[in-house]
Amino acid sequence: MVQARELSVPRRRAARTGARRRYAPRWRVLAVFLLPALLLYSVFIVYPLVSALDYSFFEWRGIRQTGFAGLGNYRDLLSVYPYDQQLWRAFGHNALFFGGTMLIQNTVGLLFALLLFRYGRGKRFLQAAFTTPYLVDPLVVGYLWSLLLNPTFGPVNALLDAVGLDSWALPWLGDTRTALPIVILVNAWQWVGFPMLMFSAALAGIPAEYHEAARVDGASAWQAFRRVTLPLLTPAIGVVSVLTFIGNFNAFGLVYAMAGSSGSPAGSTDVLGLLFYRVGFVEGGVEAIGRSSALAVLMFVFIFGVSLLATSYFRRRERRLV
């Protein structure tokens, strides 16, 4: 604790004098920096998405608007069977998805980053190997793992049988208890390179004298990590957490590939992204556009709200700790 406080003095000063109460350039200069991104983003992303949000307040017959619906689409979503039940079930699964991913993917990513930080030969190869699954299309990843976990032909169960663990050979994606955890694990398998690279970059950004100071003070490896490294990783942890949250609550591709549009088996892997896809694109009712847009608005409000809160929380911690 003492060391950490002493160590952070130069940083603190920097934060007070420079990084926070800062110089503001002239508007013309700001415009050159900001306008290109603003223009591109506003025209091609914000404008269409705002139009889509607008759609949620209208009644639809196919692609034709027939009148103002007020909150009618929202009411339908929360009261029409089976969406009233599926909405909350999917929400719960998204929450589990996020919790599981933070616990597995991001913790393992941090562990790998730490282990590889001062790793000698083979570091490049290992970093590349861990990140490689990310390069493959989520739909293909889903297909490959379904093949590996197939109860009839798959090698995972064949292997378990071969080593005498045949009682462990479950139908995996066909079992309501194991399907969601499997999806979370495969997702972590694909994405673990992302937190690993983010944390590696952040670790490399910590000036070497901090580590040396800790070592001179005789701190154990764990103490050094807990008191020096971890607090300095706060910005990276913030970015990774918020992006994980957003990614998990918008999850679609991999779940779709592994569990189909209905979140097979028996809805045990259903997430909000699948529900949105079903209401808007699969079931094909004349009400599809209004209801699916309403669902997207609800998702947006929730995800955006939580992300803003989380970002400002991490900002505050950053300021306190750095």
Partner 1 sequence: MTSARRAPGRVAVHLLLWGYAVVALLPLVVMLLNSLRPTGEIFTAPLRLPTSPTLHSYLKVWTDASFSTYFLNSLIVTGGAVLIGTAVSALAAYPLARHDFFGSRFLGAYFLAGLMLPIRLGLVPIFYLMDSMGLIDSLLGLTLLYAASGVPFCVFVLSAFYRSLPGELDEAARLDGAGEFRIFGQIMLPLVRPALASVTLFQFVPLWHEFLYPLVLLRSDEKFTIPRGLSQFFGEYTTDWSALFAGLVLATAPLFVLFVLATKQIIAGLTAGMSK
Partner 2 sequence: MNPTLGENERNCGPKGSLMKRRWIAGAIGVLAVALAACAPGGGASDQGDKAGADKVTLSLWSWRVEDVKAYEKILAKFEESHPKIHVEFKPFQATEYNNILATGLSSSGGPDVAQLRAYGGLQPLVEADQLLPLDGKVEALSGFDAKLLEGSKGHTDGKIYGVPFAYQTLQVLYNKKLFSDNGIEVPATWDDMIAAAKKLKAAGITPFAVAAGPDATWTLPITHEIFGNARYGSTAFRDALVKGEKKFTDPDFTASVKLIKDLEPYFPKDVVAVKIPDVQALFVTGKAAMYPTGTFDLAPVLAADPSLELGIFQVPPPPGSPVTTPVTPGWADGSFGVNAKSAHQAEALELVKWMATPEFGQLYATELKQLSAVPGVTPSDPLLAEMAKNYAGNGAPYTLLVNFRYGQPNGDAVFRDEVQKMLTGQTDPEAVAASVQKGVEQWFKPGN
Distance CA 182, CA 133 (A): 16
Which tokens in the block code for residue 113?
């980053």
**Residue 248: CB minimum distance to partner 1, A:** 12
| Six-digit token string for 200 | 């590696």
Binding residue for partner 2, selected from 281, 304, 308, 315, defined by CB under 8 A: 281
Does 259 sit near partner 2 (CB under 8 A)? Answer: yes
Using the minimum distance from each CB to partner 1, give the nearer residue, 228 or 242. Answer: 242
Q: What is the tally of helices (H) and strands (E) in the chain?
A: 19, 2
Residue 81, binding choice from partner 2, partner 1, none, Cβ under 5 to 8 Å by partner class: partner 2
Secondary structure class of 56 (helix, strand, coil): coil
- In the complex with partner 2, the residue whose CB is nearer, 107 or 262, is 262
Counting other chains too, the contacts that 45-50 makes at CB distance below 8 Å and 24 or more residues apart are: none
Binding flag, residue 227, partner 2 (CB under 8 A): no
Residues 117, 203 contacting (CB under 8 angstroms): yes
Query: What's the closest the beta carbon of residue 62 comes to partner 2, in angstroms?
Result: 3
Closer of 80 and 115 to partner 2 (Cβ) = 80
Window 139 to 178, contacts with partner 2 (CB under 8 A): 146, 150-153, 171-176
State yes or no: residue 43 binds partner 2 (CB under 8 A). Answer: yes
- DSSP for 193-251? HHHHHHHHHHHHTS-HHHHHHHHHTT--HHHHIIIIIHHHTHHHHHHHHHHHHHHHHT-
- What does the binding site for partner 2 look like in residue numbers (CB under 8 A)? 39-40, 42-44, 47, 51, 54-55, 58, 61-65, 80-83, 146, 150-153, 171-176, 258-260, 262, 264-267, 278-279, 281-288, 291
